[in-house]
Structure 1
Amino acid sequence: MNTTISNSTLKASIKNAGAELFSLKNQDKEFIWEGNPDFWGKHSPILFPIVGTLKNNVYTVDEKEYQLPRHGFARDMEFVLTTKSENSATFSLQSNAETLKKYPFKFELQLIYTLKESTLDIEYKVINQNTTKMPFSIGAHPAIALPGNFDDYSLKFEKEEVLKFSLLENDLVSNKTQVLETIENLVPLNYKLFENDALVFKTLESNSLTILENSKPYIKVDFENFPSLGIWTKEQAPFICIEPWFGYSDTPENSGDLFKKEGILILDADQTFTSKFNIQIL
């Protein structure tokens, strides 16, 4: 089942499966990757209750071991559409017997999509339904369609800063880092940047970046309050993923204790975490 919202400028379509955005159109132009499985069969999955990969795909809570796949399970589950208006829709995922076997915490996860003029807001709400603290990570993975030649595009970061990113090794965040070279906050895109998989920025000063097409503003992604960011594509794929995150893959030194995981969020009992990012068509 799919849900579509619209306003006078944009139309967005979301699947109940994973509450995944799969289309964002301005008139007849599509800005979200089509999901061709020859490259990557997804569009904009939600990453919860972890971001990235666990060391050996396992973690512990109270010395009991659990398994979770890369990026968690929410992207593979059916959400319920709870409210809808012409320009907004809210989807909900409740913990159940299946999730409790993988992640021993009761929760509700809400995704709220709202169109405002030329912008799509994507808001996350995580509700801790336990009488104890709940550790989690959450993140976005929207793939922006790039219909032109890949090297016609560039990324302009909001602030002038040293763009130090961590290198992935065996899907884990290593201690090795590199600096992304910029010219006036601008990073020209080329596939060689991603020969070692995603660029993982544990911290950034910039709260947004703009994708430029032939030096003209194309799309802006605003991720204020998200501490970390991933940027990723695949060789010859006509898309770029701009991924605001709370958390990231384990490091090789990780103890496995989820409460002590680097980048993890800890939500108090009966409390609600909220955050949002947006995609603006320029």
Structure 2
Amino acid sequence: MDITITNKQLTATINPKGAELNSLKSNTNTEYIWEGNAKYWGKHSPVLFPIVGTLKNNSYLYEGQVHALSRHGFARDNNFTVKNQTEDSVTFSLSSNDDTRRVYPFDFELELVYTIKDSTLFLDYVVTNKGDKPLPFSIGAHPAFALPGKFESYSLQFEQDEPLVSTQLTDDLLSDKTDILTAENGILPLTYKLFENDALIFKSLQSRAVTIKQDNKNILKVTYPNFPHLGIWTKENAPFLCIEPWQGYSDSPETKGNLIEKEGIILLNSGDKYTVGFSVKIYN
């Protein structure tokens, strides 16, 4: 059964499967999360763990053994338990089990902590190493925001006025080719043509916040203070946009496949916790 948290300004609904945010509504009943129509993309806001993006050959090497692991990992497909809940916050938990160890031989706990404060939803990811060896992982967000009306009426306002250098994907892997996007005063007009080669992937940005605007009016703001990478994605003619703060990204075609050496991987010592999060501020 879905879990709802609320205050006077926002209501969020989360599905325990994947601890996935399915709905975020303002007090005017405006929906800000993509409905998940499978015609375009059948998800809303999956968590990406223990990898972000695609592994070369959908596999990795660890201690001499090859392990298969599909795009974006397995957490989004697992059922989480509710650990704590109040009117305006809820904590979901997923712990390693026999199924996860078959593809990822590590002991961990992954918590997703949702909290509403005023007109902002906060989502914190907490990873705990429950094993006796370093835990290698990446983690990322994939929220899809509903964009009703004409897609070209929307734009993105980056926090900093900076060069927007996007790394291209080739067969779902990161190539060495880049595009420099045209933005004026940090504002990038949205067109479907931007995404004709899949997602925009920014391996390095100064901006730690992006605002969706429609006809120069602020709609919502995604702030990601401690995520070093960012993905932005939609599909042709789809009425949504994903703004994806990441720690990690897809392999390159040249990778040797060793998980410990993977770009963007975090090595968490036994018993330690790693916390990172982002927020979504709604403008009514």
Where structure 2 has 5 or more consecutive residues not aligned to the other structure, the ranges are none
- How many residue pairs match? The answer is 282
What is the aligned-residue RMSD (CA, Å)? 0.5
Instruction: State the identity %.
Output: 55
Residue 255 of structure 2 corresponds to: 254
Partner of 1:16: 16
Indicate the residue corresponding to 2:79 in structure 1: 78
CA distance in 2, matches of 1:98, 1:275: 25
* 1:122 corresponding residue in structure 2: 123
Deviation of residue 271 (structure 1)?
A: 0.3
Q: 2:144 maps to what in 1?
A: 143
Q: Normalising by structure 1, what TM-score?
A: 0.99
Shift of 1:146: 0.3
Distance in structure 2 (CA, Å) of the matches to 1:121 and 1:268: 26
Shift of 1:130: 1.1
Deviation at 1:63, TM superposition (A): 1.1
Shift, 1:180, TM fit: 1.2
For 1:131 and 1:162, the matched residues in 2 are separated by: 43
- Secondary structure at the counterpart of residue 99 of structure 1: helix
- Structure 1 residues 231-274: Cα deviation after superposition (integer angstroms, max 9, x where no partner): 00000000000000000000111110000001111111110000
The TM-score with structure 2 as length reference comes to 0.99
Task: Find the counterpart in structure 1 of residue 30 from structure 2.
Answer: 29
The answer to whether the aligner puts 1:38 opposite 2:39 as a matched pair is yes
Q: Which residue of 1 aligns with 2:229?
A: 228
Amino acid at match of 2:7: N
Aligned ranges 1:145-184 → 2 under 5 Å: 145-184=146-185
Shift of 1:132: 1.0
Equivalent position SS for 1:29: coil
Q: Deviations over 1:49-70 (max 9, x none)?
A: 0000000001011010000110
The runs of 5 or more residues in structure 1 that have no matched partner are none
> The residue matched to 2:91 in structure 1 has which SS?
strand
What corresponds to 2:197 in structure 1?
Answer: 196
CA distance in 2, matches of 1:275, 1:56: 28
Q: Which secondary structure does the structure 2 equivalent of 1:30 belong to? A: coil
Runs of at least 4 residues off by over 6 Å: none
TM-superposed deviation, 1:165: 1.0
* Residues 106-121 of structure 1: pairs in structure 2 closer than 5 A: 106-121=107-122
What code does the residue aligned with 1:181 have? T
Please report how far the alpha carbon of residue 131 of structure 1 lies from its aligned counterpart in structure 2 after TM superposition.
1.1
Whole-angstrom CA distance in 1 between matches of 2:149 and 2:113:
31
For 1:203 and 1:101, the matched residues in 2 are separated by: 33
